[in-house]
């Protein structure tokens, strides 16, 4: 990524990725912008009336300003004092007063969250099953960070003008062996390519094989042509 990227910290890299997306989103034409917004809604503000044939649990992401947390908690406690369960009261207040991640501008706020005290917002996660509310992660310590989705990886690729390949492994221990699945997910920059590709290893969570824990960089070097079946072994 060049000398500048080598000394760039994780928070700065996150901010740079979010800024790249913001610039591209603002300059996009109407239909293209709406398509991106629809993808964001699908990821973070899903329609809970559908999708249950694929998902066991669906999540709704909300953003609470750190400076508002005490006031939000007081409002929740008022409902609890009236007889509501804490989870139900929290769901009601957070959905009413927090920012839903459902378009480009709110995605920028969400993806800028690194789980540090310097963040402006905290991430609130509402988990649902087909029967209804499952849990509310209020993230009181403010350590939850936004995980880089495909939109973020594409923006990262665009910012550095390099392809980014995510090597994704799922299973009980998220390791590459005969009991797990491996996927190679290419992300092209929106524009010209000016450098060699970047490879990231993503460990999927074992309980559903759909989430992820974190990314790890992979060291890769050119090799003779091989079959696709052997590619995972070589990496």
pLDDT one-digit tens code per residue, 56-95: 899 999 999 999 999 999 999 999 999 999 999 999 999 9
Nearest to 163 by CA among 202, 200, 197: 197
Is residue 147 assigned to a domain? no
Q: Are residues 189 and 81 in the same domain?
A: no
Per the prediction, the chain carries an average pLDDT of 83
Q: Are residues 121 and 165 in the same domain?
A: no
Q: Are residues 132 and 202 in the same domain?
A: no
Is residue 217 assigned to a domain? yes
pLDDT lower than 70: segments of the chain: 1-7, 170-183, 203-235
Buried b (16+ CB within 10 A) or exposed e, 209-231: beebeebeeeeeeeeeeeeeeee
Is residue 148 assigned to a domain? no
Give the tens place of pLDDT for each residue, 3-26: 444 567 788 889 999 999 999 999
Q: Are residues 114 and 169 in the same domain?
A: no
Q: Please tell me the pTM assigned to this model.
A: 0.80
Is residue 98 assigned to a domain? yes
Is residue 77 assigned to a domain? yes
Count of structural domains within the chain: 2
Q: Are residues 108 and 188 in the same domain?
A: no
* Domain residue limits at 79: 3-137
């Amino acid at each position: 990524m060049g000398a500048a990227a080598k000394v760039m910290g994780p928070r700065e890299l996150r901010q740079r990725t979010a800024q790249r997306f913001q610039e591209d989103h603002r300059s996009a034409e109407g239909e293209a912008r709406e398509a991106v917004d629809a993808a964001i809604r699908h990821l973070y503000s899903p329609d809970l009336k559908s999708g249950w044939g694929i998902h066991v649990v669906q999540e709704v992401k909300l953003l609470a300003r750190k400076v508002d947390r005490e006031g939000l908690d007081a409002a929740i406690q008022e409902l609890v004092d009236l007889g509501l369960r804490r989870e139900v009261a929290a769901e009601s207040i957070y959905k009413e007063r927090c920012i839903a991640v459902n378009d480009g501008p709110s995605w920028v706020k969400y993806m800028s969250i690194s789980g540090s005290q310097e963040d402006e917002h905290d991430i609130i996660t509402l988990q649902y099953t087909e029967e209804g509310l499952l849990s509310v992660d209020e993230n009181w310590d403010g350590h939850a960070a936004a995980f880089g989705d495909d939109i973020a990886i594409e923006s990262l690729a665009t910012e550095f003008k390099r392809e980014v390949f995510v090597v994704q492994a799922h299973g009980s221990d998220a390791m590459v062996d005969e009991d797990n699945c491996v996927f190679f997910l290419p992300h092209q920059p929106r524009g010209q390519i000016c450098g060699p590709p970047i490879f990231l290893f993503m460990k999927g969570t074992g309980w559903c094989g759909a989430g992820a824990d974190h990314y790890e960089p992979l060291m890769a070097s050119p090799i003779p042509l091989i079959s696709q079946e052997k590619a995972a072994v070589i990496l």
